[in-house]
Amino acid sequence: MPTARCLDALLWRAAAAPSSFQRVNGESSKVQEPEPPKRRSRRKSHILLRIDSWIDSTVWNAGFAAGEAWEEITIFFRRFRVHGWKRAVFEVLGEALTLGTAGMVLLLALAMPAFEETKKDWRNRGNFAVTFLDRYGNQIGHRGIIHENSVPIDALPDHLIKAVLATEDRRFFDHFGIDFLGLIRAMNENARAGSVVQGGSTLTQQLAKNLFLTNERSLERKIKEAFLALWLEANLTKKEILSLYLDRAYMGGGTFGAAAAAQFYFGKNITEVNLAESAMLAGLFKAPAKYAPHVNLPAARARANEVLSNMVQSGIMTEGQVIGARRNPATVVDRDDAEAPDYFLDWAFDEVQRLAARFPQHSLVVRTTIDMGLQKAAEAAVASSLREYGESYNAKQAALALIENGGAVRAMVGGRDYGESQFNRATKALRQPGSSFKVYTYSLAMESGLTPDSPIVDAPISWGNWSPHNYGNSYAGRIDIKTALAKSINTIPVRLAKEKLGPNAIDKIMAEAEKFGIETPIRKDVTIPIGTSEVTVLDQATAYAVFPAGGYQSRRHGIAQIMNYDGDVLYDFSRDEPPPQRVLSETAAAYMNQMLTRVPYVGTGRRAAVDGILTGGKTGTTQAYRDAWFCGFTGNYTAAVWFGNDDYTSTNNMTGGSVPAMTFKKLMDYAHQGIELRAIPGVENPAPEAAAPKVATAASEGEPAGLPPLMRPRSLSADSTRLIREIGRMLKEAKPVTTPRRVASAAGRDPG
């Protein structure tokens, strides 16, 4: 039997094997024999085989289960399979859902920066009440709660609410922030008229723009505006939205809100305005500068008549109810023609809140640094340049900042029209400065031991993957540094940064610009030697004012004193601010002034030279002619001028040596009338070309020819002008003189 044979074999092996017992102290004990190495390796192999088998079986079972599950899902969804036209419909819907989802993700990504604004205390505009004075103590405007007395929505006249809704948003109480029906209606009307006659934005969207955004015309801004409108509708009631809109909108004349506008235009409380006055106020929301009644009363009345027609067409009122307002249009109180410098006041109000945050009093009188004569001249210079050359050069906006030697801001123009756009392009718009940024690289070069006469090679150069090109793609070969700056050659500042300024040259240029007064964060990039990092106009004016200051900080400021209504001086710039620090050595500053004063005479800024007054500066033109700059100075004043478009579209080949330089000259011609001229440090003996009459027909490199010659205007001194104005005011205010009836003459006739 097999079993018996196996048993015999086992017994034989046991008998043949050596005894595994030994006797210890007379006792028998078992001795453990060492296991052969081959048996241990077999056991280890068996364990590994079991692990491998478990892994194989687990993976196979998982795959089998997944296949079964997938088959069940496939079988389940087969019942939804469609054919024919239904399949085409489902395919379209599926693609639309996919694209819609991707679009919503994109829109949300674009809107996220706007939502960050909602985290701030946007409801609170501060409890400051500030009366602003100019440098001579004349009142020029208000900001703060004095000018923003909000009236509860329930206390406003019913006809004012109706006039606003009929004109701005008839379906205000029916939509959720975006009115698609109104948008379709507006598109239809615009298509029929062949131009933009109606807007599709709701009142909520307009409020979102006023609270959080700027007037920049771009798709990104419209997307943000739409999302913020939805956010406002979700977080505020309709009454709150309407109240904020009426309280925050600009209404012309430097007024914000319907209550302030009623007081300014009609001299009465908002609760007392009649239907005709309400219609005139409602007409201001569209274009406050165009329809401001103290500027253009006929246009304001015509606009008010349109508002009355809107009320009739929308069914809010009947023709019989508005006929009285049509026959008796609103009249306004007499106002001085002088306009408030609103762009400057907005900036100055921010400065006051920063400086006076530590003071317990918030009802303040602030003496500013603005000179209204220079302010009007700056506004006139910008307006005339845009009017004469804006259309031909395709430039719709401009900005300007004027600083007197010592740091006082004397004039500021933040845009073409404050009524159309309250966005201050002088202090908030970030634009590439182009070649006007090169002065920081050249200043470092002068500090490093180079001089204006140091030789440099103008030739193609590459820095990593970047290869800058000169205007016209031409190269001059071996030249000196002063010629390179005057001709605005692009390769030279790049070569200076790469080869002459040592390691970390880009960091050094960034630090130099910050020392000069550039407050905008500068992007670290090898292209910044030729001005690719964005700055503001006020930044550039602040930095260039270092040169006429002899290398010292310009200490830019717009606030001279802050006082309470008791006359106590809470802040005084000359008392409370530290003295200026030197940011450029005396030698380097002298070298820079010697080079920059050649630019208006032999370089790219020939149209900026002020006749009879030594002028220095630098032009700047960015890629694709998007921005045109001139930043310049005399011994008395420094100014930065920018021309371009809000939407970053290119101008028609406008360079910094054309309209910006001409605008600079217009302003400086006025600013230097009847004042004591100061010398520019380091330029004791001006170059012969600077003293000689300027040849107006000479076209600088990169400057289009054909511009009309500019001549110094014949005008009175500043003192004579003020005296004549004072005489005119006295004559205007004087009482009329009555002549008594005289006795008849010898001829018996009455001379009367």
pLDDT tens sequence across 507-540: 999 999 999 999 999 999 999 999 999 999 999 9
Question: Which two three-digit tokens encode residue 694?
Answer: 């300027």
Average pLDDT of the residues in 553-571: 93
Question: Mean of the pLDDT values across residues 403-423?
Answer: 92
Mean pLDDT, to the nearest integer, of 48-62?
A: 86
Indicate the pLDDT class of residue 708, thresholds 50, 70 and 90. very low
Q: What is the pLDDT of residue 739?
A: 41
Two tokens, residue 666: 């217009």
Q: Which of 435, 443, 488, 658 is catalytic?
A: 435
Q: What is the pLDDT, as a whole number, of residue 713?
A: 43
Of 633 and 742, the one with more pLDDT: 633
Specify the pLDDT at position 590: 96
pLDDT score of 272 more than 50? yes
Residue 698 has pLDDT above 80, yes or no: no
Split at pLDDT 50, 70, 90, the class of 211 is confident
The pLDDT score that the predictor gives to residue 20 is 45
Per the CB < 8 A criterion, the answer to whether 278 and 286 are in contact is no
Q: Mean pLDDT across the stretch 145-156?
A: 68
What's the burial of 439, exposed, middle or buried (CB within 10 Å: 0-12/13-18/19+)? buried
Q: Which has more pLDDT, 531 or 745?
A: 531
Is 326 or 196 the better-scoring residue by pLDDT? Answer: 326
Whether residue 733 is predicted with pLDDT greater than 50 in this model: the reply is: yes
Check 168, 339, 404, 703 and give the catalytic one. Answer: 168
**Mean pLDDT along residues 723-732:** 76
Q: Is the pLDDT of residue 197 over 80?
A: no
CA atoms within 13 A on the CB side of 20: 10
The span from the CA of 201 to the CA of 219, in Å, is 14
Radius of gyration of the chain (CA): 40
pLDDT tens-digit readout, 449-481? 999 999 999 999 999 899 998 887 889 899 999
Q: What is the DSSP string of 363-429?
A: EEEEEE---HHHHHHHHHHHHHHIIIIIHHHT--EEEEEEEETTSBEEEEE-SS-TTT----TTTT-
* Span 480-513, pLDDT tens digits: 999 999 999 999 999 999 999 988 999 999 999 9
Tell me how crowded residue 310 is: count the other CB atoms within 10 A of its CB: 21
Identify the residue with better confidence: 36 or 714: 36
pLDDT of amino acid 126: 55
519 catalytically annotated: no
Q: State the Cα–Cα distance between residues 182 and 223, nearest whole angstrom.
A: 17
Q: How many angstroms from the chain centroid is the CA of residue 342?
A: 16
User: What is the pLDDT averaged over residues 250-261?
Assistant: 83
Share of the chain above pLDDT 70, in %: 79
Strand partners for 69: none
Enumerate residues 6+ apart whose C-beta is below 8 A from 472. Answer: 701, 702
User: Is residue 448 annotated as part of the catalytic site, yes or no?
Assistant: no
pLDDT category of residue 83 using cuts at 50, 70 and 90 = confident
Return the number of other C-beta atoms located less than 10 Å from residue 661's C-beta.
Answer: 31
More confident residue, 104 or 327: 327
129-133 vs 363-368, strand pairing mode: parallel
> d(Cα 294, Cα 280) in Å, to the nearest integer?
12
Please, what is the average pLDDT of the chain? 83
Least confident of 29-38, 341-350, 444-453, 659-668: 29-38
Instruction: Kindly write down the DSSP assignment for every residue of 502-555, as one continuous string.
Output: -TTHHHHHHHHHHHHT--SPPP--TTGGGS-S-B-HHHHHHHHTTTTTTTB---
In this prediction the pTM is 0.70
Residue 721 pLDDT class (50, 70, 90 cuts) = low
pLDDT value of position 436: 96
Query: Band of the pLDDT at 546, cuts 50, 70, 90?
Result: very high
pLDDT greater than 80 at residue 154? yes
Phi, psi for 572 (deg, rounded to 5) = -135, 125
